[in-house]
Amino acid sequence: MYCRVTIRIVLGVMFCFCVDPLYTQELLPLHAKIDQSVADAVSEFERRAGPLTTDSAFLRRIYLDLTGTIPTVTEARAFLDNNNEDKRAAIIDRLLMSPRFSRHMQHEFDVMLMQRRPAKYVTLSLWQTFLFEAFRNNLGWDEMTRQILSADGANPENRPPARFLLDRDLNPQDTTRDIGRVFLGRDLQCAQCHDHPHFEDYLQRHYFGISAFFSRSYIFKDPNSKEASLGEKADGVVKFTSVFTSQESEISPRLLDLPEIIDPPLEEEPYITKPDDQTRGIPKYSRRQQLAETIVKQENSAFQLNITNRIWAMLMGRGLVEPVDMFHQDNPPTHPKLLELLSNDLRQHQFDMRYLIRELVLSHTYQRSSRLMSDVEPPAEELVAGQIRPLTPEQLGFSMLEAVGHIENIRLATTTKLLEEQPQRDTTSVAFAFEVEQTINGEVQPHIDAFVNTFASNNESRQFDATANQALFLMNSPLLDVWLQPSKNNLVARLQSIHDIAALSDELYMSIFSRHPNEFEASAVQHFLNSFADKRVQGLQELTRTLLCSAEFRLNH
Q: Do residues 285 and 417 share a domain?
A: no
Asked whether residue 383 falls in the same domain as residue 394, the answer is no
Q: Are residues 376 and 394 located together in one domain of the fold?
A: no
Asked whether residue 508 is assigned to any structural domain, the reply reads: yes
pLDDT tens digits, residue range 72-120?
999 999 999 999 999 999 999 999 999 999 999 999 999 999 999 999 9
pTM of the model: 0.92
Residues 383, 274, single domain; the answer is no
> In Å, what is the CA distance from 44 to each residue of 47, 337, 350, 375, 383?
6, 19, 36, 12, 13
Are 375 and 416 contained in the same domain? no
**Do 272 and 327 share a structural domain?**
no
Residue 372 pLDDT level (bands cut at 50, 70, 90): confident
Check residue 14 and give its pLDDT: 46
Cα separation, 282 vs 264, whole angstroms: 16
Q: Would residue 14 count as lying in a domain?
A: no
Q: 404 near 484, Cβ under 8 Å?
A: yes
- Is residue 6 predicted with pLDDT exceeding 50? no
Alpha helices in 422-555 (DSSP H): 430-455, 468-476, 478-483, 491-496, 501-513, 519-530, 536-548, 551-554
CA dist., res. 400 & res. 477, Å (int): 13
Domain for residue 144, yes or no?
no
For residue 130, name the pLDDT band (cuts at 50, 70, 90). Answer: very high
| Residue 218 covered by a domain | yes
pLDDT of 317 reads 92
221 and 309 together in one domain: no
For residue range 182-235, list pLDDT tens digits in order: 999 999 999 999 989 889 899 999 999 999 999 999 999 999 999 999 999 999
Final residue before a domain boundary, out of 387, 414, 447:
387
Computed over every residue of the chain, the mean pLDDT equals 91
Q: What percent of the chain has pLDDT over 90?
A: 76
User: Of the candidates 266, 291, 316, which is a domain's last residue?
Assistant: 291
439 in the same domain as 540 = yes
Pair 223, 247 in one domain:
yes
Q: Provide the CA 504 distance to its chain's centre, in angstroms.
A: 35
Which residues are CB-neighbours of 259 under 8 A, at least 6 positions away? none
Judging by DSSP bridges, how do beta strands 248-251 and 238-241 pair with one another?
Answer: antiparallel
Quick one: pLDDT at residue 159?
A: 97
What pLDDT is attached to residue 26?
A: 73
CA distance linking residue 322 with residue 357, whole number of Å: 19
546 lies in a domain? yes
Same domain, yes or no: 313 and 440? no
CA 220 to chain CA centroid, nearest Å? 32
Res. 42 pLDDT band, cuts 50 70 90: confident
Of residues 375 and 185, the one with the higher pLDDT is 185
With respect to residue 118, please indicate whether it lies within any of the assigned structural domains: no
**pLDDT confidence of residue 13:** 44
Structural domain harbouring 501? 390-556
Residue 37 pLDDT level (bands cut at 50, 70, 90):
very high
Q: What is the pLDDT of residues 304-340, one digit of tens each?
A: 999 999 999 999 999 999 999 999 999 999 999 999 9
Angle, nearest 10°, between helix axes 468-476 and 536-548?
150
Structure confidence at residue 379 as a pLDDT band (50, 70, 90)? low
d(Cα 216, Cα 310) in Å, to the nearest integer? Answer: 30
157 or 382, greater pLDDT: 157
Q: How remote is the C-alpha of 420 from its chain's centroid?
A: 36
User: What pLDDT digit, counting tens, does each position of 490-500 carry?
Assistant: 999 999 999 99
Over 90: is that where the pLDDT of 504 sits?
yes
Same-domain status, 409 and 544: yes
The amino acid at 230: L
The pLDDT, as a whole number, for residue 465 is 72
Residues 342 and 411 in one domain: no
Cα 373 to chain centroid, rounded: 29
Whether residue 400 is contained in a domain is answered as yes
pLDDT at 46: 84
Give me the number of domains the chain comprises. 3
pLDDT tens for each residue of 536-550? 999 999 999 999 999
In a domain, 82, yes or no: no
- Which residue, 342, 363, 387, sits at the end of a domain? 387
